[in-house]
């Protein structure tokens, strides 16, 4: 999955040049929710430079994997690295097009104006969870990376029964919206998804000792309508401009 930086830059230049000189295409992008803010930010840049148009659809990584396996058409997919590898093995992602694009950890958010919570240690984080009336998180059954990890983590921490009783499970989308609505006191999700909800405060990442980073990767659909345009956008997502956007969105290079 790793790519030489210089080679990636050259591929990006070649792909963008090819895209700019080809007939305008509509590129359908299926992206995991955590990476959607980056895709949305880069879309107008790509469209202006190439004349192509992007259609962006987001869901949990697990839900997207099922949709792709079920035959849904796409040009570019952004899933976890394991998800992209599985789609490549299944023939849904074109050989040689997979590449890592970003890494993101799980964060903690509260409603703006609420008293700050101490999450600086594992013990403090656990106490904050146990004291909360309700905690919003992605439903593990929906296939979201953070929800799956957190459900396993709570078991290891010995607080699974307490968390099951107070969990506000979100099937997909943004858990921090439950803070704004008053349905939860704490929201847990990938930091990039917490940051996009107005009216909330992101306290920071969960403690390093229990942190889980998800690496996202992209791939071009084996049945992409315009493979050159799809490759061009994926190359842009792996380039330096996207790295700057990722930092602003709470993500980092893979």
Strand order in the sheet with 167-170: 167-170, 135-138, 186-190, 106-111, 200-205
**Average pLDDT for the chain:** 91
Q: Where in the chain is the domain with CATH 3.40.190.10?
A: 5-103+214-248, 106-210
Give the whole-angstrom CA distance, residue 109 versus residue 180: 11
Q: What is the pLDDT of residues 20-54, one digit of tens each?
A: 445 788 999 999 999 999 999 999 999 999 999 99
204: left (phi over 0), alpha (psi -120 to 50) or beta: left
Class of domain 106-210: alpha beta
**How do 76-80 and 53-59 pair as beta strands?**
unpaired
Query: Residue 28 contacts by C-beta under 8 Å, 6 or more apart in sequence?
Result: 54, 55, 57, 73, 74, 75, 76, 225
Class of domain 5-103+214-248: alpha beta
Q: What is the pTM of this model?
A: 0.80
Q: What is the pLDDT of residues 103-145, one digit of tens each?
A: 999 999 999 999 999 999 999 999 999 999 999 999 999 888 8
pLDDT at residue 143, rounded to an integer: 87
Query: E-assigned strands of the chain?
Result: 26-32, 53-59, 76-80, 99-104, 106-111, 135-138, 167-170, 186-190, 200-205, 214-220
pLDDT at residue 4, rounded to an integer: 47
Q: What is the pLDDT of residues 184-196, one digit of tens each?
A: 999 999 999 999 9
């Amino acid at each position: 999955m790793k790519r030489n930086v210089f080679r990636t830059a050259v591929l990006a230049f070649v792909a963008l040049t090819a895209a700019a000189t080809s007939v305008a295409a509509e590129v359908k992008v299926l992206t995991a929710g955590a990476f959607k803010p980056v895709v949305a930010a880069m879309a107008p840049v790509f469209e202006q430079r190439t004349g192509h148009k992007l259609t962006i659809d987001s869901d949990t990584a697990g839900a997207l994997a099922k949709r792709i396996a079920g035959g849904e058409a796409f040009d570019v997919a952004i899933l976890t690295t394991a998800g992209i590898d599985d789609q490549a093995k299944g023939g849904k992602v074109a050989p040689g097009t997979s590449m890592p694009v970003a890494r993101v950890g799980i964060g903690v958010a509260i409603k703006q104006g609420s008293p700050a919570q101490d999450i600086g240690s594992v013990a403090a984080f656990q106490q904050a969870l146990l004291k909360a009336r309700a905690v919003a998180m992605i439903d593990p059954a929906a296939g979201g990376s953070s929800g799956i990890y957190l459900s396993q983590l709570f078991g290891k921490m010995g607080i699974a029964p307490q968390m099951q009783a107070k969990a506000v499970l979100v099937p997909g989308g943004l858990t921090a919206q439950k803070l704004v609505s008053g349905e939860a006191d704490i929201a847990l999700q990938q930091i990039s998804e917490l940051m996009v909800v107005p009216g909330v405060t992101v306290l920071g990442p969960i403690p390093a000792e229990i942190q889980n980073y998800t690496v996202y990767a992209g791939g071009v659909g084996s049945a992409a309508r315009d493979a050159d345009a799809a490759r061009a956008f994926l190359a842009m997502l792996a380039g330096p401009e996207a790295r700057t956007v990722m930092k602003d969105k709470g993500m980092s290079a893979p």
